[in-house]
Structure 1
Amino acid sequence: MSIVGTGGDETDASEFVVSEQEAGRRLDQFLATALGGELSRSRLQSLIEDGQVRVDETPVLLPKRKVAAGETVRLAVPEPEAPEPVAEDIPLAILYEDEHLVVLDKPAGLVVHPGPGNWTGTLVNALLFHCGDTLSGIGGVKRPGIVHRLDKETSGVMVVAKSDAAHRSLAKQFAAHGQDGKMERAYQAVVWGVPSRPVGTVEASLGRSNSDRTKRQVVKDGRPDARHAVTHFEVLERFGTEGANAALIACVLETGRTHQIRVHMSHIGHPLIGDEVYGAHFRTKSKKLGEVGDVVAAFPRQALHAFRLAFEHPVSGEPMEFETELPDDMQELLEALARLEG
């Protein structure tokens, strides 16, 4: 048996190829072995009977159906039904609000919408309390008003739609990624090392990681899940000496892929300080920073802040621009790095 791959956003899907040794086994038995006991036989039988299993892209509804060598068996496990989010009195830093939209400064540590492990305490729960039933319903009950998102540990400016008309317009602007001249999304990040060029562009397609479906990686353009991604960066400030240095950079997105800045900067050898997903291998560099290294090593998140968001008001057409200062934790990180020699 060999694993072909996994994928899909709405379900947890896995594919397996039947080997010569496994030929002739019942479909439910084959899957039970392939999954290493992760799902019970009775659960697998129910999934098969519900149409969640395909053999060579053909749905198979009989658990006792025998598999043949070379066949590809695909199992899709639907996401469990999630509870509807409830309103929670969570403080929000509102930058602007009218009948069509809300602009806010999201703190690090706040998840945008409910999901596995975070059914409460999210931005959506806070918005339901703040806005009541006025949020746009286009995103569904789990993501009312949500037009875009920031990672849990990324801070910064977000816009939320309160009307369906605003949702449609803002979604169109985000989809254009600023190519229509209406929107700009800019970030500030603190990275390991100093890029060799003061201004540069990273253009590299992103896809799911081969080892972890929650991560992204740079992939070849021909891969089915490859998504074109472009990040422009500029070095704003340099810290330290050669071999023990860091930089504050600004990044402007030309595309908006999951974890784009984090993956792109790691790809060129400058992962974000505090990024345990894409930059954990750089943590040992903090030992070269002397007493400053203790502050850097203790930084609890990826040092990334969405400091600027500009867009066209979805109803009036008025240009709107919002900027926020770096949060306290990133300010303290920069102050520590400023104590480095050089």
Structure 2
Amino acid sequence: MAVFPDQEDSEEDELFEHYSFTADAGQKPLRVDKFLMTRIRNATRNKIQQAARDGNIRANEQVVKQNYRVKPGDTVRVLFEHPPYENLLLPEAIPLDIVYEDDTLLVVNKPARMVVHPGHGNYSGTLVNALVHHFDQLPVNADNRPGLVHRIDKDTSGLLVIAKTEVAMAHLAKQFFDKTTRREYLALVWGNVEADSGTVEGAIGRNPKNRLQMQVFPDESQGKAAITHYRVVERLGYVTLVSCQLETGRTHQIRVHMKHIGHTLFNDERYGGDRILKGTSFTKYKQFVENAFKLLPRQALHARTLGFVHPVSGESMDFEAPVPEDMASCIDKWRDYAKHRADE
């Protein structure tokens, strides 16, 4: 069975949904089950009470029962178990944008907002649900996920290679593990990236204060080595269009590395890019940025190219996916803005 290496923007792999809330200063004492019901969409009281019985509710990092009363400033965390993974692999008639296909593999262009595999609150509508509908008897990886060799995040668009045979699964997984694949991402980031090109090196691990985020650590004692090469494509005033190539493939690697050097991805909600990070706060500019956010209601990241060696023929194969409309429209909007500023 093929090894499933870490990949850029990989989805949460654990068998839980994670939630964390901090009670504000005006919070009146309230049972923790009622506190959570008002904050988690579609959460039932039974589900919350089961989490409490399982020891999966914490207040200020201490396990609490369902009758614990939340006080101002309390940080409340809860984990919900999701159904067994094999119960989530239901075929769904979801269209696929297939860039290439043969008897061994296929390359798909994943749209933004589509989760790659079920889990962490996304139990249907995923790429895997579509794959098991369109293809019979796909091989499974070490995590029991049909066809998957690598992954990209829900809100990242772009190219993925899917294995149709065990031979392809093992061969392609080894290429990712050996770092011989060729992957380029296009990203729109906040700020003017001064150097025309550069390399970001820094171990990436989970943020101890927010487990849904990753962060850079000074050494590999708390994270895994990660290397990202970037090149400026176009400077657009308060934002920059960059090309990123991965030497490694850690969770959220591009998003974390670019933030680490002061250039958070545009509209990356998880890492704070959904706020105005560069430029003035004048009403006219603020409205412009808000309109740009509406055009691109996700992080500005697209897996544009993918290259690998064919597992059977040995042929070197390279594919490219055009920048999707939402990201292209946002880039054009910034391009026009930058031009008007230069003309003033």
1:262 and 2:255 matched: yes
C-alpha distance in 2 between matches for 1:116 and 1:276: 17
1:81 and 2:84 matched: yes
Contact 1:10 1:78 in 2 (8 A): no
Give the alignment of 1:162-201 within 5 angstroms. 162-178=164-180, 183-201=181-199
Contact 1:292 1:339 in 2 (8 A): no
Contact 2:51 2:80 in 1 (8 A): no
Match of 2:290 among 291, 294, 302: 294
Contact 1:266 1:279 in 2 (8 A): no
Contact 2:82 2:120 in 1 (8 A): no
Residue in 1 aligned with 2:271?
278
> 1:56-109, CA deviations, whole angstroms, 9 ceiling, x for partnerless residues?
xxxxxxxxxxxxxxxxxxxx9976523241111111110000111010110000
Residue in 1 aligned with 2:117?
113
Match of 2:134 among 130, 134, 138: 130
Q: What is the total number of aligned residue pairs between the two structures? A: 271
Instruction: Give the TM-score of the pair, scaled to structure 1.
Output: 0.73
Instruction: Give the TM-score of the pair, scaled to structure 2.
Output: 0.73
Gaps of 5+ in 2: 1-11, 17-48, 56-78
Per chain length, whose mean CA-contact separation is higher, i.e. which structure has more relative contact order (CA < 8 Å, sep 6+)?
Answer: 2
Contact 1:153 1:301 in 2 (8 A): yes
How far did residue 280 of structure 1 move? 3.7
C-alpha distance in 2 between matches for 1:117 and 1:281: 22
> 1:206-228, CA deviations, whole angstroms, 9 ceiling, x for partnerless residues?
001011222100112142x4100
C-alpha distance in 1 between matches for 2:211 and 2:290: 32
Residue in 2 aligned with 1:97?
101
C-alpha distance in 2 between matches for 1:263 and 1:87: 34
Rate the CA distance shift 1:162–1:248 in 2: closer, same or farther, 3 A. Answer: same
- Matched residue type, 1:262: R
C-alpha distance in 2 between matches for 1:293 and 1:40: 42
- Matched residue type, 1:110: M
Residue in 2 aligned with 1:249?
242
Segment of structure 1 superposing worse, 169-178 or 82-91? 82-91
Gaps of 5+ in 1: 1-7, 13-36, 45-75
Contact 2:105 2:168 in 1 (8 A): yes
C-alpha distance in 2 between matches for 1:99 and 1:111: 25
Match of 1:212 among 207, 210, 213: 210
C-alpha distance in 2 between matches for 1:271 and 1:38: 38
Give the 3-state SS of the residue equivalent to 1:337 in structure 2: helix
Contact 1:283 1:297 in 2 (8 A): no
Give the alignment of 1:36-47 within 5 angstroms. 39-40=51-52, 43=54
How far did residue 152 of structure 1 move? 0.1
